Amino acid sequence: MFYRDAGQYKTSYAADMAIFPLRQDRVGIAVILLIAYLGVPLLAGDFAISTVMLPLMALVPAVIGLNILTGYTGLISLGSAGFMGVGAYACYKLTTLFPEVNILVWILCSGFFSAAIGVVFGLPSLRIKGLYLAVATLAAQFFLQWCFVRIPWLYNYNASGAIEVPLRTLFGIPITGPTAEVEVKYLVALTFVVILAWFASNLVHGRIGRSWMAVRDMDIAAELMGIRLLPTKLLAFAVSSFYCGVSGALFVFIYLGGAEAGTEFSIRLSFLILFAVIIGGLGSIIGSFFGAAFIVGLPTVLKFGLPTIGIPITGAVAEKVVLMIIGALTIFLLIVEPHGLARLWQIAKQKLRVWPYPY
């Protein structure tokens, strides 16, 4: 009907390689951006933004990061929450040591610290793969978590042992700390997410992304074709950890506004991020958004949605039910569509393209 590629000719190489070759796709992405930038802050309430949109925006970079590592390069990691923690603590240390530099710079910079740590823990990936690598990354998770608790320098010797996010401003408007408006925080996080997603999308469509995928599909064959394994795998670890680090900084500074690391960046968060990647679809940037939305949205829907339709449920019970449903739904989704929500999205687009004919 309206979603057709008929009559749209590619007349240059650039047009052929465009990420969104269809005009309708380009219009669609513009509309989505418009809604995200104007519609959500204006129409959604503070509560909806702070319980759904902020954690979503904070988690999406981590999910994209893990997708780069697991979905595109084929290396399983269970340490993403640890790398998020590195980002959060790096950002906290940087902004308390150099308060005059804008917080946005430090949020981005904290990603580099996380990337450095990620490269160190990525070194074993050259010799081991698959489940063994998953265990190796668990080492990163538990070691980093221990560091967050046992090294008081990281949280500036606070008596509470937690990060307290200070007030920071951009053009005089507070963007972090207790007085910052929810809408402002959301817009800041959204901008980070848009830039990071755009960057990731370009990365995976280019030479680097192709070499990652070659390594994923068969690393020995990739090596024979002249792809150097060590730099490629380490780059994947670095980029992935960079995304996780930025995500961790956003998670603490924008979403939580303060965190106790031993509890926030635990193994369960790592698992949830991996869930998001797999449910969203391995090797898909748009899938990362779907997966993160699923993981963030489901508990909220259950906790606040069920009472409104008349099913009484207390907070404590809801949490357990949420665990059960996340577990059950994950298994269900894996059975029904192991390629994730991104695959469903693709099928829907394909159907729309040929509609009303079946093919």
Partner 1 sequence: MTDATLTAKPALSPQQIRRIAWIAGPVLLVIVLTLLTRSGAIGPSDWTYKILVDPFVTMWSLPDLLIQTLWEGFVAGVLYALIALGFVLIFKASGVFNFAQGIMVVFAALSLIGFYEILVGRLGIPAGYAAAMVALIGALGIMLLLAVAVERIVLRPLVNQPDIIMLMATVGLSFFLTGFGELAFGGNPKVMITSALGLPTGSSSIDVPGGRINVQHLDVAAAVIATILIVSLGIFFQKTRIGRALRAVADSHKAALSVGISLNQIWIIVWFTAGIVALVTGIMWGARSEVSFALEVIALKALPVLVLGGFTSIPGAIVGGLIIGIGEKLGEFYWGPLMGGGIETWLAYIIALVFLLFRPQGLFGEKIIERI
Out of 32, 331, 347, 348, which residue is the one contacting partner 1 (CB under 8 A)?
A: 331
**Of how many residues is the chain composed?**
359
Token look-up 């949020």 returns 107
User: CB under 8 A: which stretch of 105-113, 164-172, 241-249, 315-323 binds partner 1?
Assistant: 315-323
Residues 198-257 contacting partner 1, CB under 8 A: 218, 220-221, 224
Can residue 278 be called a binding residue for partner 1 (CB under 8 A)? yes
94, 136, 180, 196: which one contacts partner 1 (CB under 8 A)?
A: 136
Give φ, ψ of 44 to 5 degrees: -75, 150
Q: Does 328 bind partner 1 (CB under 8 A)?
A: yes
User: 18, 48, 139, 229: which one contacts partner 1 (CB under 8 A)?
Assistant: 139
The partner residues of 240 in beta bridges, in order of sequence, read none
**H or E element: which one contains 198?**
helix 182-205
Only one of the segments 180-188, 251-259, 305-313, 323-331 lies at the binding site for partner 1 (rule: CB under 8 A); that segment is: 323-331
Q: Where are the beta strands (DSSP E) in the chain?
A: 163-164, 168-170, 173-176, 258-259
Identity of the residue, 42 or 131, whose beta carbon is nearer to partner 1 in the bound complex? 131
Q: Is 330 in the site for partner 1 (CB under 8 A)?
A: yes
Q: Say whether residue 138 binds partner 1 (CB under 8 A).
A: yes
Q: Give min distance, CB of 330 to partner 1, in A.
A: 3
Closer to partner 1 at the Cβ: 181 or 223? Answer: 223
- Torsion over CA of 265, 269, 274 and 280, rounded to 10 degrees? -120
Longest dimension (CA), the chain: 67
Rg over alpha carbons for the chain, rounded to the nearest Å, is 21
Give me the least distance between CB of 176 and partner 1, in Å please.
30
CA distances, 140 to each of 119, 182, 275, 282, 316 (Å): 11, 33, 19, 22, 31
317 scored as a contact of partner 1 (CB under 8 A)? yes
Interface with partner 1 includes 59 (CB under 8 A)? Answer: no
Question: How many Cα atoms sit within 13 Å of 174 on the Cβ side?
Answer: 12
Q: Rule CB under 8 A: is residue 335 a binding residue for partner 1?
A: yes
Range in contact with partner 1 (rule: CB under 8 A) among 9-17, 50-58, 134-142, 155-163: 134-142
Burial zone of 83 (CB within 10 Å; 0-12 exposed, 13-18 middle, 19+ buried): buried
Beta bridge partners of 13: none
d(CA 164, CA 148) in angstroms, rounded, equals 14
* 204, 232 Cβ separation under 8 angstroms: no
For residues 192 and 275, which CB has a smaller minimum distance to partner 1 in the complex? 275
Distance of closest approach, residue 136 Cβ to partner 1, in angstroms: 5
Of 17, 323, 348, 354, the one binding partner 1 (CB under 8 A) is 323
Tokens of 216: 């994923």
List residues binding partner 1 (CB under 8 A).
Answer: 70, 76, 124, 127-128, 130-132, 134-136, 138-139, 142-143, 145-146, 149-150, 218, 220-221, 224, 267, 271, 274-275, 278, 282, 317, 320-331, 334-335, 338
